[in-house]
Structure 1
Amino acid sequence: MLQFLQNNIWMVLIALTSGAMLFWSFFGNRLRGIQEVNSIAATQLINHKNALVLDVREQSEYDAGHILNSKLIPVGKLLERIGELEKYRDRPIVAVCRSGQRSASACTLLGKQGFAQVYNLNGGVMAWQKAGLPLEK
């Protein structure tokens, strides 16, 4: 076994690295304390709990199509514009981006700012469209 590891150290390291990356892609957001919702659960939060949809994409992406009544604050400006969200502190917030990566970062930031009901739309606007849900232009 030891001889095999010595002879194939690079292959072993590549396998371990890819396994760690796969693990992080599945469980990374959960480990960071981010609550994820799919498109159906997001619509339930919007319709039944009056959730705010926070779109953290850039203006051009938002203009190309966004979820109805969503509020645009690009993730890079979120900290400086956090005051705009104070009135939503007691409501659920569903953070949205194209694929779910930037919105996960936004969820982390909002959580650190004391927002307790923050959800990341898993798969972002791409998943929303795939579920056949409408976008507004």
Structure 2
Amino acid sequence: MSYQDIEASEVSNRYQEEKDRYVWVDVRTIEEYEGGHIPGTLHIPLDQMEQRQEELKGFKEQNILLVCRSGVRSVYAAEVLADHGYTHLFNLKGGMLDWAGPVE
């Protein structure tokens, strides 16, 4: 498996301690993102990940946590990034549906 699951309900309860451990990347549509997102997340929609993955290359050695609505699109995003050599990938399992932390 090219990524690890992290339960949204768990990490959202520890957001203040966890936020700096990851580069947070939201892969939802622009409409979803603008409707509310986790503070500090980068926004690269899944349908643009292949073309825009270079934007993350400065974070290649860091933990990248991928966020979507339910935790499905973020798995596909993890697979795209893994194909480009990213190895520290995490999926926010349950996505924004299970997120109980801050939203902006």
**TM-score of the alignment, normalized to the shorter chain, above 0.5:** yes
What is the CA distance between 1:46 and its match in structure 2?
2.4
What is the CA distance between 1:123 and its match in structure 2?
0.5
What is the CA distance between 1:41 and its match in structure 2?
3.9
Aligned to 1:112: 83
Distance 1:83 1:110 in 2: 10
What is the CA distance between 1:35 and its match in structure 2?
1.0
Aligned to 1:69: 40
Aligned to 2:61: 90
Letter in structure 2 aligned against 1:100: G
State the TM-score, normalizing by the size of structure 2.
0.88
Distance 2:60 2:23 in 1: 10
Q: What are the ranges of 5 or more consecutive residues in structure 2 without an aligned counterpart? A: none
Is the Cα contact below 8 Å between 1:53 and 1:70 reproduced in 2?
A: yes
Return structure 1 stretches of 4+ with deviation > 2 angstroms: 39-47
Letter in structure 2 aligned against 1:38: E
Give the paired residue count: 100
Give the number of the structure whose residues are more often helix, by fraction: 1
Find the residue that maps to 2:90 and give its secondary structure: strand
State the Cα RMSD in Å.
Answer: 1.5
- % identical aligned pairs: 32
Higher relative contact order at CA 8 Å, sep ≥6: structure 1 or structure 2? 2
Is the Cα contact below 8 Å between 1:45 and 1:92 reproduced in 2?
A: no
Is the Cα contact below 8 Å between 1:56 and 1:95 reproduced in 2?
A: yes
- Structure index of larger Rg: 1
Find the residue that maps to 2:98 and give its secondary structure: helix
What is the CA distance between 1:45 and its match in structure 2?
4.2
What is the CA distance between 1:111 and its match in structure 2?
1.1
